[in-house]
Each structure stands twice: as structure tokens, then as C-alpha cells.
Amino acid sequence: MKEISPKELKSWMDAKEDFQLIDVRERYEYEISNLDGELIPLQYIPEKLDTIDREKKVVLMCRSGARSENAARYLEQHHGFSNLYNLVGGILAWSDQVDGTVAKY
């Protein structure tokens, strides 16, 4: 699994790179703060495999980076994904390093 820093992700967004952003947090967390990614809570990843792109880059994110790392490992080990990036530090790091107006919880 590859990793991406919040600043690298911001540069992808600014450059309008073609990638899929998946947020694996719970809906209530997503409602507190989000980066406009597609919400697929961690426990639903196995049943949503067909919505995860296998061709372009896919960035997985959560609050701190742990759940998204687990999701990436699962997808790589059990379903052969090789295009995944984990957002290091999650939305907390995004708030610290990129946009302090994003709510931390």
C-alpha cells in the first residue's frame, strides 16, 4: 500500500488529477467534517467492491489514517487492488497541514 500526505493530496486536487477519494469513517463523522469523498464506512467495504475503481488512483481516508490503512490492506490482500493510497494522518492531519477550518473531533 502506498501512502499520500495531506499536502500531496491537496496538490492532486488542485491539479484536478483523476482519482477516487473514499472516506471509510461513519456517517456521523463524515457529517462533522469531510473532503467531499465518497462515504463507504469500513464495515461496508466488502459489499461495495464494485464501486471502488481498479484503474485509477484510489485514496482511502479516515480520521487518523488507521481505519483507511486497514481497508487498503484488506483490499490489497484479499481482492488484488494495487492502486490504493492511504491518507497519512487522515482528516486530523488534513486540518493541521492543509486547511485549519476543517473540524477536528
Catalytic residues: 62
Checking phi first, is residue 50 left (phi over 0); if not, alpha (psi -120 to 50) or beta? alpha
Give the residues across from 22 on adjacent strands: 38, 60
Separation between Cα atoms, residue 64 and residue 100, nearest integer Å = 15
Separation between Cα atoms, residue 14 and residue 39, nearest integer Å = 21
